[in-house]
Amino acid sequence: MNIKTKAIVISSLKYQEKSLIVKCFTQSDGLKSYFVRDAFSNRKSNQKIAYFQPLSILEIEAVHKNKGTLENFKEIKIASPFHSIHTDVVKSTIVMFISEILHHSIHEEEKNEHFFAFLETSLLWLDNHDEVANFHLILLLETTKYLGFYPDNSDSDAKFFEMIEGIFTPFHAVSSLSEHETHLLKRL
């Protein structure tokens, strides 16, 4: 089945001498893996490799067989070109970190349009702003909403955050953050 959708590149892996396996989080189908044949074979294909930088936002047309195998691209375009992420060392480091976290966190192969929109908006924000010191922390905290384990902040006046239960508590337990660490978490 031919699909036209946006995709965010999560990771890419060189396969044999010339090919590439690309893991993307797509707007229409969730997590998908694609096979890019002859990605390293000639000079023209070097342009192809540039599409698969971590967290690039692509507009793709692909053939989805939905049989649990690698899918194939028919056409690839950059949906939202980044202006500063790949040239700014701090931003590119943040992108590599987030990409690695998402690679190990997203396992579902179902579409999640809200999560996709959140990631796309966050990446565009990162590209357009210079003050990004805590961006990765905020993004990771917000990502937990979509992965199903966002901290329960109904009692956020409590002084300690219990990490195993994911709740704020008035008493300090072994697995609790200190009062200072809890204060920093609340500031995020």
pLDDT value at residue 49: 80
Residue environment code for 112-143, b if the CB has 16+ CB neighbours within 10 A, otherwise e = beebbebbbebbeebbeeeebeebbeebbeeb
Fill in the DSSP letter of residue 73.
E
Does residue 174 lie in a domain region? no
Query: What's the CA gap between 168 and 55, in Å, rounded?
Result: 33
Query: What's the CA gap between 165 and 171, in Å, rounded?
Result: 13
Q: Name the phi and psi angles at 47, rounded to 5.
A: -65, -35
pLDDT value at residue 45: 56
pLDDT value at residue 46: 57
Does residue 182 lie in a domain region? no
Does residue 41 lie in a domain region? yes
- The domain in which residue 85 lies consists of 2-147
Query: What's the CA gap between 185 and 3, in Å, rounded?
Result: 41
Query: What's the CA gap between 72 and 78, in Å, rounded?
Result: 17
Does residue 17 lie in a domain region? yes
* Tokens coding 5: 């959708």
Does residue 161 lie in a domain region? no
pTM, two decimal places: 0.86
pLDDT value at residue 22: 94
Outline where DSSP puts E strands in 51-179.
Answer: 57-63, 71-78, 160-162, 167-169
**CATH number for 48:** 2.40.50.140
Look up residue 111 and give its amino acid.
K
Does residue 38 lie in a domain region? yes
**Structural domains of the chain, count:** 1
Does residue 172 lie in a domain region? no
Give the list of residues 6+ apart from residue 48 with CB closer than 8 angstroms, or none: 36, 39, 76
Does residue 143 lie in a domain region? yes
Q: pLDDT tens string for the chain (188 positions)?
A: 888 999 999 999 988 888 899 999 999 989 999 988 877 776 655 557 888 999 999 999 998 887 777 888 889 999 999 999 989 999 999 999 999 999 999 887 788 999 999 999 999 999 999 999 999 999 999 999 988 888 887 877 889 999 888 889 888 989 999 989 988 888 87
